[in-house]
Amino acid sequence: MEGAPMHHTPSYSSSIYFINVGEHQTQNIYLSPHAWLKLHIENVNPQPGDRITISWGGGVTKTFHGGVNEASVFFGGGNFNRSIPFELYRNGEWIRWRDTVWMNAFDTVYHKVEY
């Protein structure tokens, strides 16, 4: 899959604790599962100068121009709803909206956007 890393540095959360000499130490680490989104973008009514930008988060954006009909794969954490902001530039105006996609853990979710 082009553009989708097969591994990443997982995010984790834990509480701060102090080590006491001679005592048993336990630390719980919670890792988020991997998930991928195959996002299909299709401009069903292309207009001159059309441009759509998807913001995935973490500084990752992807921009498509004109009469686009293609798919991209994005990587992230699973088992939660992912809000994806879109910006469409058409006829000299910006149109902004969000889609929400449930990211299944350890799976690739398919989502299509037509505009």
Residue 20 lies in a domain: no
Please give the chain's pLDDT, 115 residues, in tens: 455 555 555 555 556 667 778 888 777 888 889 999 999 999 999 999 999 999 998 899 999 999 999 999 999 999 999 999 999 999 999 999 999 999 999 999 999 999 9
Q: What is the pLDDT of residue 17?
A: 63
pTM of the model: 0.73
Q: What residue numbers bound the domain in which 107 lies?
A: 36-114
CB-CB contact of 51 with 88 (8 Å): yes
Residue 28 lies in a domain: no
What CATH number is associated with residue 91?
2.60.40
Confidence (pLDDT) at 84:
96
The answer to whether residue 55 is domain-embedded is yes
- Count of helix runs (H) and strand runs (E) in the chain: 0, 9
